[in-house]
Amino acid sequence: MRRAKAKAMPQTGASSGGGSSEKALRVLHIVDREHFRRFGRMFRELGLALDDVGVRVSLATDDAEAAAEFEGTPVTAHLIPGLSGWRRWRIGGALEAARTGEPANVHLWGARSLAGVSRWAASQGASLVVHLTSEHDVQLLLRRTPAEHEQPVVCCQRHAEDLAQRWPTLTQSTPVCPPALLCAPELPESSVRDHVLGVLWTGVLDAASGVDLLIDALAEMSRQGFEAQLVLIGGGPAAHDVWRRVRRRGVQDCVSMTDGGRLWEHSIAGADVFVLPARHTVFSLPPLLAMSLGKVVIAEETQIADWLIAGETFVPFAPGAADELAARLIDAAQAKPAVRAIARSAAEYVRAHHGVSRMAASLHDVYRVRVSERRGASTGSER
């Protein structure tokens, strides 16, 4: 097979807050299309925040639209077709052809391309930070032994504990670095809405999504005389089954479906409620963005993410309980004080714990430590 040509986006700026480029830490972020769909604006905001703390970021992605967003920023974006799908097995060659420079650290988002990226990073003498953003990523890592140059980073404490059970000495200090965003300076105003309740869900429509439960809850709301408009953003193998269920429950006038990719970035602001009808195991930015905007987040109560705290950052309901989910949605429609208090608490929590500058500082520490360790190991081998 012929190797796909890698297209490099032009460098569009210089470091503004990190001193000279010669002294700055150089890091290559590898972000495939799926991660841009899940985290969207976070990568641009993180690139700018890292530049402020002295980290020069370049970024490789197979998402042309996302790559274009870095024009006019200190982040150099490289468009590389071979990051997703069947071409992942040639990822090392694609990265080499892209002329991404000589990064001290490579930061891989997700673990699906880990083997190929790890070999390439080792050949470059770079440390590899592997950001595990889902339970599936954790399971992939557990099937192998991390190489000396690899550093796992997780999004929640639960995943750090999972790794520590497997490798107590190796991963007892696995960094926990959750998603983050740049929040508006002012907390959003909490007000009673006088229109039809707007409900938003986004993700992959599959058997584990819990969307069937959400549709049943919507039908129960309608039966009790409460109106809501549900927007489902995302495609997947269960899309046709979901729409059949919508018609069978008679709520087709209340449901809109679109495989809109990152449409959630613009839709959350107009919604009243964001729903997680199942356990959130493939982490993404939408729940945090909804919280930061003062939206009511209603979620199944068995969440593992540290930022999803029942009664503090989200309104809980029992697993599989469509009637209870309907009741929580009705509470939101009626703007119950307890529900609004949780929404405000969530907005405050995100500002306190999930600011992008905080994330940049944490990653800067990880990068700096890894560079020091790699230099120490290199010096020791020369002796």
The domain ranges of the chain are 7-181+356-382, 197-353
Check residue 88 and give its pLDDT: 62
Alpha carbon of residue 356 to chain centroid = 13
pTM: 0.90
Question: Which token pair is 78?
Answer: 């490289």
Please classify residue 344 by burial: count the beta carbons closer than 10 Å to its beta carbon, then call 0-12 exposed, 13-18 middle and 19+ buried.
middle
3-class secondary-structure state, position 150: strand
Check residue 21 and give its pLDDT: 45
Check residue 24 and give its pLDDT: 77
Check residue 23 and give its pLDDT: 61
Q: Find residue 134's DSSP bridge partners.
A: 282
Distant-in-sequence contacts of 245-248, Cβ < 8 A, 24+ apart: 245/212, 245/215, 246/215
Let me know: does 350 contact 183? Beta carbons within 8 Å. yes
Instruction: Give Cβ neighbours of residue 278 (< 8 Å, ≥ 6 apart).
Output: 208, 209, 210, 213, 300, 319
Please classify residue 318 by burial: count the beta carbons closer than 10 Å to its beta carbon, then call 0-12 exposed, 13-18 middle and 19+ buried.
exposed
Let me know: does 38 contact 282? Beta carbons within 8 Å. yes
Measured between its terminal Cα atoms, the distance across the chain in Å is 43
From the candidate CATH numbers 3.90.600.10, 3.40.50.2000, 1.10.10.10, 3.30.70.100, the one assigned to the domain spanning 197-353? 3.40.50.2000
Q: What are residue 27's phi and psi, to 5 degrees?
A: -130, 135
Instruction: Output b/e per residue, 247-284; b: 16+ Cβ within 10 A.
Output: eebebeebbebeebbbbbbebbeebbbbbbbbbbebbb
Consecutive sets of 10 residues in the chain, 383 residues long: mean pLDDT of each?
Answer: 37 42 80 96 98 96 96 95 68 82 93 92 95 98 92 96 86 87 83 80 96 98 96 96 96 94 94 98 98 98 98 98 98 96 97 97 96 66 51
Strands (E), 52-164: 55-61, 76-79, 105-109, 127-132, 150-154
Let me know: does 46 contact 359? Beta carbons within 8 Å. yes
Alpha carbon of residue 280 to chain centroid = 11
Check residue 86 and give its pLDDT: 54
Q: What is the CATH number of domain 7-181+356-382?
A: 3.40.50.2000
Let me know: does 88 contact 112? Beta carbons within 8 Å. yes
Q: How far is Cα 132 from Cα 21, in angstroms, rounded to an integer? A: 29
